Amino acid sequence: MTITGTVVRAGCAAARLPLDLAEHQILGEERADWPPVMLFDTVQSGIKQLVGSLTRDDDLVQEGRLQRARVAELRKAVALETVAASRREAADADHDARVQADEERRQEIAAAEAEQRRAAREQRDADQQRAEADLEAQRTAAAKADDAARAAAERADRADAAERIKAEKAAVAKKRRAVAAEKKTQRVDNELRTTKASRAAAKRPAP
């Protein structure tokens, strides 16, 4: 380890102190993939490579190259993680969209089924009301037919009764005429007999 390398490392360490302090305050932990840290390590690796090349310190140059390689790997890992996070977010968004679509579809199906049940219930109620109305109309028609039949029967009975009364009155009148004729005949016979008796008495000689 050369003196130049030691000085460079010490200077880099001193320059990094404020960054380490900020890292602990902001993140609460050491994070090699924190962008300011990666930027500082990139600059630091360049300084090491430059100074090592100028001072012919191969160890410092190699250390700078390794540090740059680590930063490159970290950047690659961060990029991959970013892509993976984006894909996860896209997958989550797609999943949420599918879940939302499924929920909306389920709600639409439930609403359609509820509408079908409501329509079927209304149809059943309408059919029942129509059947009740038809039954009531049939009952009314039957009652009217019964009333008409009873009225016709009553009229027929009254007509029959009137005919019987008329026939009875005619029979009574005929009988009365017969009786009157018989009385008249008897009266005429009596009158004839009386007349004959009177004549016979008139023809007999006086004693």
pLDDT at 110: 93
Which range of 30-34, 39-43, 136-140 scores highest in mean pLDDT? It is 136-140
pLDDT of res. 103: 92
Stretch 1-23: mean pLDDT, rounded? 72
Instruction: Say which residue, 82 or 127, is predicted with more confidence.
Output: 127
Q: What is the pLDDT of residue 126?
A: 92
Q: State residue 27's pLDDT score.
A: 67
- The string of pLDDT tens digits covering residues 87-144 is 888 888 888 998 999 999 999 999 999 999 999 999 999 998 888 888 888 888 888 8
pLDDT digits (tens, 9 = 90+) for 141-180: 888 887 887 888 788 777 777 788 888 787 777 888 887 7
* pLDDT attached to residue 143: 85
* Contact (Cβ atoms closer than 8 angstroms) between residue 46 and residue 67: no
Nearest by Cα to 37 from 14, 56, 20: 20
CB 57 within 8 A of CB 2: yes
| 35-54 and 3-26 helices, crossing angle to 10° | 170
pLDDT confidence of residue 19: 64
Listed residue (63, 65, 67) closest to 6, CA to CA? 63
